Amino acid sequence: MNNKADMEGLRGLAWLLVMQTAGELLARLLPLSLPGPVIGMMLLLVALRWSAVRLPVSSCADFLLKHLSLLFVPVGVGVMAHLNLLGDYGLRILVVVVLSTWCGLIVTVLVLSRSPRDD
Amino acid sequence: MTDMTGFVELWVYLSATPLFGLTATLVTYVLAHAFYMRMHQAAWANPVLWSVVLIAVARLITHVPYPRYFSGAQFIHFLLGPAVVALAWPLWQRRADLRARWGRLLLAAVLGGAAASGSAVALAWAMGLPQEIVLSMAPKSVTAPVAMGIAEKIGGIPALSAVFAVLTGLVGAVSGRFLFRLLNIPTTTNGWVARGFSLGTAAHGIGAARAMQVNVDAGAYAGLALGLQVVLASILVPLVFHFLR
């Protein structure tokens, strides 16, 4: 394994952090109501046309996204700690959350699967 | 007896360091994921769901307060930012396909997001829930930190919106497959695109993470959908509520 391949993952992470930082800066400087990482994603989408960015980012991004589930565990545990906020409304809230999530899933999937490309 | 106090002291020391929360999170997730694989990736065995439940129960039994747990878990939580940036990669790989169907995707994102948010607000109102709860429901289809920001703008309670967002993600990740099967969505490339995009739209990152485990196309489009939903919801939800007032 040569030196360059060794550094690829770290370089990829560095690019991701640079894009996120640029995104956070833009989010604060411009009157945008978008979160920094989302602006960072758009910047990276443009930067990926250069192989100096693309090659390192690909290995690092694949790794991060493969384990995306793990990254939601700390927030999830926090939510469990705040379940008492729901108080007496717990059951009704659960019904609303379940039904509205299904509603969103069904509408989205139907709009796309009725696409003319299928016919 | 001295052994016992020694153990307690050791425990008090360990549970106070960030190492504890980080180790507990990673080890629990690795175990939950092994169980998920053994169950042939059954939706009910979702590794996020079980990791969260196990750690929450362990925290209750051991009386470790959330801030102390988070002092370690934050190192994992922090990676959510770079992971969102990384979503550009699967999109770039599918750029030709995206160009071909962007109109339909945008339509699905707007209608799906409006359906999720609108039905949540309408149902909560119809069931007689208090106004702060109704308002906190509106941004629940976007990832928790963004949902909190939107809730603040429209007069909801940010912490509540975060709770609703995470519950929404779990509901979508666990029930998506049954719903799609019920609707006869095929498992062709187009079917996976529709399934993934739907999960990312209505169940943000937790739904997208599930999609990425099941199919690469589903995962890529789930990533696109969650990014689009963040953009759309940050702009449209405050706008709609501004005119409703």
Inter-chain CB proximity A95 and B123 less than 8 Å: yes
Disruptive mutation site among B84, B85, B152 for chain A (greatest number of A CBs within 10 Å): B85
**Which residue bears the tokens 């939510």?**
A79
- The answer for residues whose C-beta is within 8 angstroms of residue B81's C-beta and 6 or more apart is A20, A36, A37, A40
- Angle at the Cα of A107 from the Cα atoms of A104 and A109, rounded to 5 degrees: 100
Any chain B CB within 8 A of the CB of A20?
yes
pLDDT attached to residue B135? 93
- Looking at the complex, report in whole angstroms how far the Cα of residue B77 sits from the nearest Cα belonging to chain A: 5
Here the ipTM equals 0.88
Q: Does B86 touch chain A (CB under 8 A)?
A: yes
- Look up tokens 């993470």; give the residue: B209
pLDDT higher than threshold 50 for residue A21: yes
Specify whether B185 is located in the same domain as B200.
Answer: yes
Its sign, for the CA torsion B233, B235, B237, B240, is negative
pLDDT of A70 higher than 90:
yes
Taking CA–CA distances from A97, the nearest residue in chain B reads: B168
How many domains is chain A built from? 2
Same domain, residue pair B9 and B66: yes
Shared-domain flag, residues B116 and B55? no
Phi, psi torsion values for B165, nearest 5 degrees: -65, -45
A91 chain-B contacts, CB cut-off 8 A: none
Q: Are residues A14 and A46 in the same domain?
A: yes
Residue B6 and residue B99 share a domain: no
Q: What's the length of chain B?
A: 245
Q: Are residues B93 and B182 in the same domain?
A: yes
Q: Are residues A15 and A35 in the same domain?
A: yes
Question: Which residue range forms the structural domain that includes residue A51?
Answer: 1-66
Q: A77 and A60 in one domain? A: no
CA distance A6 to chain B (A): 20
pLDDT band (50, 70, 90) for residue A119? very low
Q: Are A20 and A60 in contact (CB under 8 A)?
A: no
B123 and A98 within 8 Å at the Cβ level: the answer is: no
Q: Where is pLDDT greater, at B35 or A88?
A: B35
Q: Is residue A106 within 8 Å of residue B179, measured between CB atoms?
A: yes
Domain boundary among B78, B102, B135: B78
Nearest in space to B74 (alpha carbons), one of B15, B24, B18:
B18
Domain count, chain B: 2
Residues A62 and A13 in one domain: yes
Rounded to whole angstroms, how far apart are CA atoms B219 and B192?
A: 9
**Pair B240, B205: CB distance under 8 Å:** no
Domain co-membership, B70 together with B93: no
Between A and B, how many CB-CB pairs are < 8 A? 302
Q: Note the pLDDT of residue A85.
A: 74
How close, in Å, is residue B7 to chain A by CA atoms?
Answer: 26
Check: CB of residue B218 under 8 Å from CB of residue B173: no
A43 and A80 co-located in one domain: no
Contacts of B244 (CB under 8 A, 6+ apart): none
d(CA B140, CA B143): 8
Whether residue B151 sits in one domain with residue B48: no
What's the CA gap between A41 and B215, in Å, rounded?
22
Specify whether A61 is located in the same domain as A76. no
- One domain, residues B68 and B89: no
Residue A31 sits at the chain B interface (C-beta within 8 Å)? no
- C-alpha B161/C-alpha B154 separation (Å) is 11
Interfacial A residues in 72-91 facing B (CB < 8 Å): 72-83, 85-86, 89
Provide the residue-wise pLDDT of chain B in tens; the chain has 245 residues.
456 677 777 777 777 788 989 999 999 999 999 999 999 988 899 999 999 999 999 999 988 899 999 999 999 999 988 998 998 998 898 888 888 889 999 999 999 999 999 999 999 999 999 998 999 999 998 888 788 888 888 888 888 898 899 999 999 999 999 999 999 999 898 999 999 999 999 999 899 999 988 999 999 899 889 888 988 888 899 888 888 76
Residue with tokens 């509106």: B138
Do B99 and B133 belong to one domain? yes
The phi and psi torsions of A61 (rounded to 5 degrees) equal -65, -40
- For residue A16, what are the contacts with CB-CB under 8 A and spacing of at least 6? A40, A44, A57, A60, A61, A64, B82, B85, B86
Q: Do B229 and B165 fall within a single domain?
A: yes
Per CB-CB distance under 8 Å, the chain B contacts of A57 are 86, 89
Cβ neighbourhood burial of B14 (10 Å; 0-12, 13-18, 19+): exposed
**In terms of domains, do A48 and A82 share one?**
no
* Residue A44 in this model has a pLDDT that exceeds 80: yes
Residue A32 DSSP symbol: -
Nearest to B92 by CA among A14, A49, A39, A92: A49
The reply to whether B118 and B230 lie within a common domain is yes
Co-location of A30 and A82 in the same domain: no
- Domain boundary at B78, B99, B131, which? B78
Same domain as A51, residue A9: yes
Domain span holding position B130: 84-244
pLDDT score of B3: 66
pLDDT digits (tens, 9 = 90+) for A49-65: 999 999 999 989 989 98
Contact B159 A66 (CB under 8 A): no
Q: Which of residues 123-162 of B touch A (CB under 8 A)?
A: 123-124, 127-130, 133, 137, 140-141, 144-146, 149, 153, 157, 159-160, 162
- The structure tokens 């690829």 sit at A8
Asked if residue A107 and residue A62 are part of one domain, the reply reads no
Of B50, B78, B106, the domain-final residue: B78
Name the domain boundary from A66, A87, A105. Answer: A66
| Across A27-45, average pLDDT | 85
Task: Look up the pTM and report it.
Answer: 0.85
Domain co-membership, A25 together with A40: yes
- What is the Cα–Cα distance from B205 to B217, expressed in whole angstroms? 15
Q: Tell me which chain A residue has its CA closest to the CA of residue B178.
A: A102
Quick one: CA torsion of A74, A79, A80, A83, rounded to 10 degrees? 170
**Which structure tokens are listed for B98?**
């995206």
Rounded to whole angstroms, the Cα distance separating A79 from A85 reads 10
Residues A43 and A4 in one domain: yes
Both B104 and B165 in one domain: the answer is yes
CA distances from B1 to B6, B9, B12 (A): 9, 12, 17
Which residues, at least 6 apart from B106, have a Cβ–Cβ distance to it below 8 Å? B228
